[in-house]
A and B are shown apart, each in its own frame.
Chain A
Amino acid sequence: KAGVTQTPRYLIKTRGQQVTLSCSPISGHRSVSWYQQTPGQGLQFLFEYFSETQRNKGNFPGRFSGRQFSNSRSEMNVSTLELGDSALYLCASSLEGGGIQYFGAGTRLSVL
């Protein structure tokens, strides 16, 4: 059974640009959660999507958004990038959200 797949693995952008990250969950999993990991703040919850609806949202500005498609694949978008957005972005999938979450390898975003 394939794991959680995140693309791309690495991204380099400049301030002011926007970026879209993709996450394909484990087959049969309907919940996708996104996290940002930085050395200073650790792993922080961004948002969760379930059945194409955002079910939970963390404390991040509106520049961070996401969506989920009917096949449960999810994308997150960051607009007007700032230097502080440089981080490892992780997505995790679970059957319906409340159980075990399995993480993808992450997308490392560098903003110059």
Chain B
Amino acid sequence: QKEVEQNSGPLSVPEGAIASLNCTYSDRGSQSFFWYRQYSGKSPELIMFIYSNGDKEDGRFTAQLNKASQYVSLLIRDSQPSDSATYLCAVNPSGNTGKLIFGQGTTLQVKP
């Protein structure tokens, strides 16, 4: 079992729709969770971070964390073609050191 799992996609949604990206992790003691966006040929860019159970909203993005189910998700409302990218889920197992475990990433395609 991989430590952090994501559906590789591609996930295709029409412009203006809600895109839902999911991630599960195996280390129950994991402390902090991150979503990064990576455009082709570019480096990862932080979209959201979440540390506590529940929802966290920032503009069109909502991160959801359920530690009991070991599940993190990212919702993108009003999806735009510019949102087309690979979305990487990252988990920090310890919370106080700089080791992130990444999923394989989900490719999102937003069609005009």
Once the chains bind, are A33 and B45 in contact (CB under 8 Å)?
A: no
* A65 interface residue (CB < 8 Å to B): no
Distance in Å: Cβ of A90 to nearest Cβ of chain B: 6
Closest to B6 in A: A42
Q: Report the bound CA distance from A90 to B43 in whole Å.
A: 8
Distance in Å: Cβ of A104 to nearest Cβ of chain B: 6
Query: In A42-90, which residues have CB < 8 Å from any B CB?
Result: 42-45, 48, 50, 55-56, 58, 88, 90
B49 contacts which of A32, A50, A100 (Cβ < 8 Å)?
Answer: A100
Query: In A88-103, which residues have CB < 8 Å from any B CB?
Result: 88, 90, 92, 94, 96-103
Once the chains bind, are A100 and B46 in contact (CB under 8 Å)?
A: yes
Name B's interface SS: loop
* A105 interface residue (CB < 8 Å to B): yes
Contact mask B85-112 → A, CB, 8 Å, 1/0?
A: 0001010101111111111110000000
Contact mask A6-44 → B, CB, 8 Å, 1/0?
A: 000000000000000000000000011101000000111
Once the chains bind, are B46 and A97 in contact (CB under 8 Å)?
A: no
Q: Which residues of B contact A88 (CB under 8 A)?
A: 43
Once the chains bind, are A42 and B43 in contact (CB under 8 Å)?
A: no
Q: Report the bound CA distance from A44 to B94 in whole Å.
A: 16
- Number of A residues, CB within 8 Å of B: 28
Once the chains bind, are B100 and A98 in contact (CB under 8 Å)?
A: no
Once the chains bind, are A45 and B97 in contact (CB under 8 Å)?
A: no
Once the chains bind, are B44 and A98 in contact (CB under 8 Å)?
A: no
Q: Which residues of A contact B22 (CB under 8 A)?
A: none
Q: Which residues of B contact A103 (CB under 8 A)?
A: 36, 43-45
* Chain B residues in the interface with A (C-beta under 8 A): 31-32, 34, 36, 42-46, 49, 88, 90, 92, 94-105
Query: Shortest 8 CB-CB distances between A and B: which pairs?
Result: A97-B98, A48-B98, A43-B102, A98-B96, A33-B98, A31-B98, A103-B43, A56-B99
Can you offer 5 A-B residue contacts whose CB atoms are under 8 A?
A33-B99, A35-B100, A35-B102, A98-B98, A103-B43
